[in-house]
Structure 1
Amino acid sequence: MRSVPEILRSLAPEKKVFILGSAFVDVVVRVPQMPQSGGDLEGECRTTTVGGCSFNVADVLSKFALPFEALMPVGEGMIADIVEKAFRERGYPVRRYSDRGDNGWCLSLVEPHGERTFVSMFGIERRMSLDWFDDFDMAEFDLIYLSGYQAEGENGAVVLEALRRKRPDADLIFDPGPRALEIPAERMKVLLSLGTILTINAQEARAMTAEPSAEAAARILSHRTGRPAVVTDGARGAVLAEGDVVRLIEGFPVDVVDTIGSGDSHTGGFIAGRMCGLPLDESVRLANAVASVVTGREGAATAPTVAELLALHG
């Protein structure tokens, strides 16, 4: 397998990417430990930034100067105004919709060891309308990203209908995240049948499969989709499964600051590799490198540029 610098210098887009999902505001608060019912805990408010799974994935491609199209809806209200400002600063297209409320926001509680717990207040990103997808030719895209947060409830039915417009040979890069067990079983079965490559962390993968290890869980998930599965496993790196062929792609050393956006950035790095025609192993290696940097930074949307990664790995 090539080195990270060799991989980075070979990046050239070959496939079209569509990012589907959310952009909302992350309020990051450091706490000594998770609060208990009836307790009184002092926290330190660290940052208020625009994040969201899809926004974090887009951040990686943007930092790598790789093109993509996206439906990350902007609503009406105080949070939506902050999101729109961030979009304009980054040169992202603003797709603003009325009568669906404000964008959501998230309170991210970060413990000293870097683990984060989310309290999410959902908004327009969970109230999508099928006609919003009429602005896109879904059959044009080779890779489509979806987060589990958009696959729940009535919104999930809308998203699933939109995904039926994609080409059969297009890859659905699906990160169920912590909502994996909240998605109805029948809907999950359909989602996993759409040419789906799962990207998920080890804890979530074990919950989906009742398997004891990341390797065993990855194998089961790959069999369910008939496609590769990527299971991140902290400092170890990520497990890549292609049916019964399972291997660990080692990670990189990192001093953990917080894990906000780490999984999303890993998915973004993987998508960057796949859209540039990289083999699976190299795509995961690139994803590991991106996620290691994000894990060592505070807050959301903190992906490194190519130059920053070259400086670290050159």
Structure 2
Amino acid sequence: MNQTLVIGSAVVDVIVRVEHLPKCGEDVHVSRQSRSLGGCAYLVSDILRHFGAPYSLCTAVGGGMYGDFVYEQLKKRGVPIYVRKPEEENGCCYCLVEDEGDGERSFIVDHGIEYTFHESYLENIDTDSIDSVYICGLEIEEYTGWEIIHYLEKHPEYTVYFAPGPRIMRIPTDRMEKLLSLGVILHLNEGESMAFTGKDTVEEAAKEIFRRTGSPVVITLGEKGALAYDGKEIFFAPPVKTSVVDTIGAGDSHAGAVISARRFGLSWQEAITAANYVSAAVVAKEGGQLEDMDFAKVLESLPRDLREKIGK
């Protein structure tokens, strides 16, 4: 089976829970904090791993206290480390979650070497087996963002999944237009889709995005589920009932599940249905990472026909 190349960051998520987000000049106390391995690309790749979908994680692991943590955690989980640059700092992500809120998170991100990409990073990866790629908006926004785009231009045969993220409107227009012209499959949330297209409904937003890319689009709807549009039909998958602890990694896990499901031949309807089960499990626990035991429970909860199609 061919593999998915996952390009992007692996960072330390420092999860800080507070009563409420502070206003300027205010003093608030931390109720609890923890740290875990995170980063959009890593979290996507970990869902691929759980599904047994072949992948390579192309992330540069730096040095410093955050880089050492990332390095040890990747080794512990058996993830190949193709690029190590201990002489350059690895960054981190401070994830602020309100105790009194709905689990929504706010990020303060310290970017390091992990958000960069050079084609030389691929020298130890089996590039002949790649048929799909995942990219994130944070890396496209970085100073090496054009290097990712130029790499994709060399490989029009790739299926490219693109999650622009909450900073979608800050990605330089010329970079965004070039990616859209490459026919990327956008994975984004309701607010991002409407802000980007200027449309009043997600259905209209999905159709406008398809008009600009010519490729399917997936839009997550939070507690309302998710939809996909393939240019002919809008597919809707209802939400999976869960108790929300925090929403860290919800979108990343959903994207990883969609890529995995499509890898195993599931339809768009089936893919977003399975992905809803995965993201529901992620938001029910602290942090964006599912352990093997957590994922086993997700598989058990999937409808039987979906389990059979992914061979689980």
Instruction: Report if TM-score (shorter chain) is over 0.5.
Output: yes
Q: Give yes or no for the alignment of 1:247 onto 2:247.
A: no
Q: Which of 125, 132, 142 lines up with 1:153 in the alignment?
A: 142
Q: Give yes or no for the alignment of 1:234 onto 2:222.
A: yes
Q: Give yes or no for the alignment of 1:124 onto 2:109.
A: no
After superposition, the Cα gap between the structure-2 partners of 1:172 and 1:303, relative to the gap in structure 1 and judged at 3 Å, is farther
Distance in 1, matches of 2:283 and 2:93, equals 18
- Amino acid across the alignment from 2:266: L
After superposition, the Cα gap between the structure-2 partners of 1:96 and 1:77, relative to the gap in structure 1 and judged at 3 Å, is farther
Distance in 1, matches of 2:157 and 2:173, equals 24
Q: Give yes or no for the alignment of 1:52 onto 2:43.
A: no
The correspondence of residues 185-224 of structure 1 with structure 2, limited to 5 A, is 185-224=173-212
- Please tell me whether the aligned partners of residues 231 and 239 of structure 1 are also in contact (alpha carbons under 8 angstroms): yes
The correspondence of residues 40-189 of structure 1 with structure 2, limited to 5 A, is 40-98=27-85, 101-111=88-98, 112-136=101-125, 138=127, 140-166=129-155, 168-189=156-177
- SS of match in other structure, 2:167: helix
Can you list the C-alpha shifts for 1:72-122, whole angstroms capped at 9, x where unaligned?
Answer: 111122111100111111111113433762211011011231000000000
Q: Can you give the 5+ residue segments of structure 2 that lack an aligned partner in the other structure?
A: 304-312
- Distance apart, 1:155 and its partner CA: 1.6
- Please tell me whether the aligned partners of residues 290 and 303 of structure 1 are also in contact (alpha carbons under 8 angstroms): no
Distance in 2, matches of 1:73 and 1:192, equals 26
Q: Which of 295, 301, 305 lines up with 2:289 in the alignment?
A: 301
- Please tell me whether the aligned partners of residues 19 and 69 of structure 1 are also in contact (alpha carbons under 8 angstroms): yes
- Amino acid across the alignment from 1:70: L
- SS of match in other structure, 2:71: helix
Name the one with the larger strand percent: 2
In structure 1, what is the equivalent of residue 23 of structure 2?
36
After superposition, the Cα gap between the structure-2 partners of 1:287 and 1:126, relative to the gap in structure 1 and judged at 3 Å, is same
In structure 2, what is the equivalent of residue 225 of structure 1?
213
Can you list the C-alpha shifts for 1:150-169, whole angstroms capped at 9, x where unaligned?
Answer: 10132211211222232x23
Distance in 1, matches of 2:90 and 2:111, equals 7
- Percent identity, aligned pairs only, is 36
TM-score (norm 2): 0.90
- Larger RCO, structure (CA 8 Å, separation 6 or more): 1
Q: Which of 261, 266, 274 lines up with 1:278 in the alignment?
A: 266
- SS of match in other structure, 1:98: strand
Q: CA RMSD in A?
A: 1.8
- Amino acid across the alignment from 1:45: R
TM-score (norm 1): 0.90
In structure 2, what is the equivalent of residue 269 of structure 1?
257
- Distance apart, 1:272 and its partner CA: 0.6
Q: Give yes or no for the alignment of 1:17 onto 2:17.
A: no
After superposition, the Cα gap between the structure-2 partners of 1:135 and 1:165, relative to the gap in structure 1 and judged at 3 Å, is farther
- SS of match in other structure, 2:160: strand
Q: Can you give the 5+ residue segments of structure 1 that lack an aligned partner in the other structure?
A: 1-13
Distance in 1, matches of 2:65 and 2:90, equals 8
